[in-house]
Amino acid sequence: MGLVCPIPLTDYDKILMAHGGGGTLSHQLIQKMFFSHFNNELLKTEHDGAGFSFGNQRIAFTTDSYVVRPIFFPGGDIGELAVYGTVNDLAVCGAEPLYISVGFIIEEGFSMDELWKIVQSMKAAADRASVKIVTGDTKVVDRGKGDKIYVNTSGVGIIPQGVEISNSRIKPGDKIIISGKIAEHGIAILSAREEFEFETSVKSDTAPLNHLIKKVLEKYPDIHMMRDPTRGGVSSVLNEIAKKSNLGISIRETEIPIAQDIKAICEILGLDPLYIANEGKVIMLLPSEQADSVLQILKSDPLGEHAAIIGEVVEEHHGRVVMETTIGSNRIVDMLSGEQLPRIC
């Protein structure tokens, strides 16, 4: 018997932008087609990277592709983003990132000067994150068959003894911490697009989180779970965690750190900041008794100065995220359906 496409044709017979949006359609594609066919134990953990043993050493391995438009945006560029994105995916697996690969897919006619800027930016980013770019690949596609430049990075890192970051370790009562103000990357990209004539000082939060996370893990290796809320934002990450752990997540709207200008732009455009991408934030789930101390460690670092405890894991509403609103009522925070904004990373 031949292989049958696991996504019924009645769903979609063509890829939509939303299949890459980090929301429900992305999940369907990943779950139904990729996971079910590539099916293995490591993949099933559904983390930002795979963690496995090599001899006595625990290794983390991850990959990510970057198609952000525009390639230079307030607070960063595609090169820096590609390094930090992979560094952060390793860091939230509990790993200390070591080596990174880079694949460039460049459109014919792309400016050599801009490529040089991207390369310099990647080198600076790698130095800041203390990783080395050790291998790579370059492909050029016909003019009109790509959009300037796409970058893929993969990375490996070592998971220290005693660290185990996994959905399976989450327990009711665990506190949920976010390391800073939300939605800055997505809104920075939005404000940089030509169709928006905003004059804002909003900058992307793109930053390497590995040093910050290392500081925490050195003192508190018992962190249960970490994720970086990139595409799909805080809500998508919390929903994924709630579904995978089959526990409930309760958060409080008043505790979620957000800058006033970001909040204002979201209000004007009708966007929910909980669904907007971050590129320099980590969400941690950890034993309640460690939460205050970890919060202090985060707050003592510039990358974590606005960190806050935003909620906890509960026994109720399994698999769902519920938020206490500013007026004290409760509402479901669902996974992003479709896409709020395409090609943000």
Partner 1 sequence: MKYLDEYRDARLVKAYAEKIRQLTTDSWIIMEICGGQTHSILKYGLEELLPERLNIVHGPGCPVCVTPLEMIDKAISIAQTPEVIFSSFGDMLRVPGSTYDLLSVKAMGGDVRMVYSPMDAVKIAEANPDKKVVFFAIGFETTAPANAMAVLDAQRKGLENFSLLCSQVLVPPAIEAILSSPHSRVQGFLAAGHVCTVMGFEEYLPLVEKYQVPIVVTGFEPVDILEGIYLTVKQLEEGRHEVENQYRRVVRREGNPAAKSVMFEVFRTVDRNWRGIGTIPQSGLSLKEKYAQFDAEALFNVEKILTEESRECIAGEVLQGLKKPVDCPLFAKSCTPEHPVGAPMVSSEGACSAYFRYHKRSDVA
Using CB under 8 A, list all residues that contact partner 1: 11-12, 14-18, 24-25, 28, 195-196, 248, 260, 263-264, 267, 269-270, 316-318, 320, 322, 325-332, 334, 337-338
Residue 164 or residue 324: which is nearer to partner 1 going by CB?
324
Q: How far is the CB of 202 from partner 1 (least distance, A)?
A: 15
Residue 137 or residue 267: which is nearer to partner 1 going by CB?
267
Q: Tokens 């430049």 label which residue?
A: 149
How many other CB atoms sit within 10 Å of the CB of residue 283? 21
Q: How far is the CB of 247 from partner 1 (least distance, A)?
A: 12
Residue 171 or residue 317: which is nearer to partner 1 going by CB?
317
Residue 142's SS3 state is coil
- Please name the residue ranges forming H helices in 65-221: 78-91, 112-128, 184-192, 210-219
Task: Find the angle CA(234)-CA(206)-CA(81) to the nearest 5 degrees.
Answer: 110
Q: Tokens 């990375």 label which residue?
A: 155
Q: How far is the CB of 197 from partner 1 (least distance, A)?
A: 10
Conformation bin of residue 29: beta by default, left when phi > 0, alpha when psi is -120 to 50: alpha
Q: How far is the CB of 96 from partner 1 (least distance, A)?
A: 38
The span from the CA of 28 to the CA of 34, in Å, is 9
Q: How far is the CB of 327 from partner 1 (least distance, A)?
A: 4
Residue 2 or residue 328: which is nearer to partner 1 going by CB?
328
Q: Are the CB atoms for 182 and 251 separated by under 8 Å?
A: no
Residue 41 or residue 194: which is nearer to partner 1 going by CB?
194
Q: How far is the CB of 188 from partner 1 (least distance, A)?
A: 17
- For CA atoms 171, 177, 182, 184, the dihedral sign is negative
| CA distances, 193 to each of 140, 198, 200, 243 (Å) | 25, 9, 12, 34
The span from the CA of 265 to the CA of 272, in Å, is 10
